[in-house]
Chains A and B, each alone.
Chain A
């Protein structure tokens, strides 16, 4: 029984959130590798949050005496060309990569899902026009598109978020559209229509919660892509401006000294690989778990 002081809207949202949560939990439990991915990713997130406590040195502090030092007890991952501690820059750099990735995917997820919802719900010409536009965007290489957008807007966290989310909108629209088309034919939507609910209410209040687990799972896979694209743009020289530490930027600087100080490029490379791999492991396992075609494989 629901407590008497809860309004029907509160009851609705409580049960909806509970359903989404239990859906994700079932998916997690049916594919154990997802837990490994989640734990790895959370460890990186915790390191990024606790950067001021964990970083042994100031990531921006330069020391000409300690230039290009190999790993030692004091500098566990060595120092860079300006004598800055690589480990500290790596920990602080996680903040930039994760912030840009999470924001970009958050924006793409919201805009893309809404576009997909509208296309799937209304169907007909609206669907054709929207999805053709998405297909055109999808056809273009995302790194090149991101590259041009950042080059025109200028490299900053906001512009990187805009560029990366721009390239990630079409896949979310595709993911949201297909289940919307199936769900809109279900009886509970018919019932909502008969009760005079508006299209907006049906789409956001009744269809969206049902497709949310799929969108969230895809979100984790695309977060991996977003972090990879951000690092790639930073490597090309279109990342957040120095001296702010970013993983891609650190690899770029390390690459310039690769012949005598290979560790500069090696450690941030491993960091990116761990984050992207953990997200792929997480998203892949969850996707397999919620995909009815693949469920039998578990």
Chain B
């Protein structure tokens, strides 16, 4: 087991290194000069040169790259051009809100998606299956901001069950849950659509295995076969997919946070874009990279825990 963990950790470090390199080059290689992007088209050459010097963009690329890497690893991600505060502090301030939202959504997605996918597989090519397949297809066709606006219209504006603005600052548990409810339902339902489809196809594959046929031939009750023999086996692709769909979840959380005006990485990145806060944008890309790599690592390790065969490959 330890060699499996070490191998996965090594792979994660290499990926982290590669994606950080990509982040560095994306910001610098794209035709738009960051200094010009920040100051606008009307800025004088002197002002642009001064900002380039302040940001260190006038130094050789290799020096910038080594400084960037050292900075990222030592926790010095620069200071925000707008607030003047360290980028890492600004990010850490809102990170818990985004983590809270994505984790609750993921849990909600799994709680809805897994049973629905299994039900759909068991009732294959019958009414519940058609219903589930159609609903999940509709679910994954929703751009997150569209579903968020519809939820907001119905449950916050018309029915007034939830607050229109989800401040995420509620002091007691009930307030926090009310704040979290609509954004989490929005992301959770979209995740559920993805998870349902994977859970269904994975369960269908497991149900076609010889050992399931043998168990049925031996007269074991069908529900027992599902719970005791099929469930865990069918969960392996689901876990992988949850890791793979993290990108979608992150993208959707940005849109959800904007619609519900909820603090988090999404609102921070859009604010940085509007105010052309280049150092903040770079920091945001670093944090997204870290999140993606860490979640992929956790997915791989979970995969190893669920399926013992993976460790020995």
Contact = CB atoms under 8 A, between A and B. Distances in A.
Contact of A280 (B137, B254, B255): B137
A239 to B, nearest CB: 12
A136 B25 CA distance: 14
Given A151-B281, A228-B143, A144 B254 contact: yes
Q: Which bucket holds chain A's interface residue count?
A: 35 or more
Contacts of A51: none
Interface string A275-298: 011001100100000000110010
A152 B143 contact: no
Contacts of B149: 251, 255, 258, 265, 269
A152 B15 contact: no
A281 B134 CA distance: 9
A259 B22 CA distance: 42
A251 B255 CA distance: 12
A99 interface: no
A142 B292 CA distance: 12
Interface string B248-284: 1011101100110000000001100110000001001
Contacts of B37: 151-152
Name the residue in A152, A276, A280, A294 with the highest tally of chain B Cβ atoms < 10 Å from its Cβ: A152
Q: Is the interface of B mostly helix, strand, loop or mixed?
A: helix
Nearest to B31: A153
Nearest to A135: B15
Interface in A234-282: 235-238, 251, 255, 258-259, 262, 265-266, 269, 272-273, 276-277, 280-281
A115 interface: no
B69 interface: no
Interface string B205-240: 100000000000000000000000000000000000
Interface string A111-153: 0000000000000000000001101110111111101110111
A48 interface: no
B204 interface: yes
Interface stretch (B2-10, B59-67, B75-83, B150-158): B150-158
A280 B281 contact: no
A165 interface: no
Contact of A140 (B152, B269, B288): B288
Nearest to A230: B143
Contacts of B251: 141-144, 232
A238 B26 CA distance: 18
B296 A148 contact: no
A153 B30 contact: yes
Given A148-B27, A280-B140, A139 B281 contact: no
B288 A272 contact: no
Contacts of A149: 26, 30
Nearest to B149: A265
A161 interface: no
A152 B293 CA distance: 24
A83 interface: no
Contacts of B150: 266, 269
Contact of A136 (B22, B153, B273, B288): B22
Interface of A: 132-133, 135-137, 139-145, 147-149, 151-154, 224, 228, 231-232, 235-238, 251, 255, 258-259, 262, 265-266, 269, 272-273, 276-277, 280-281, 284, 293-294, 297
Q: Identify the 5 closest CB pairs spanning chains A and B, nearest first.
A: A143-B251, A141-B247, A277-B141, A152-B32, A152-B30
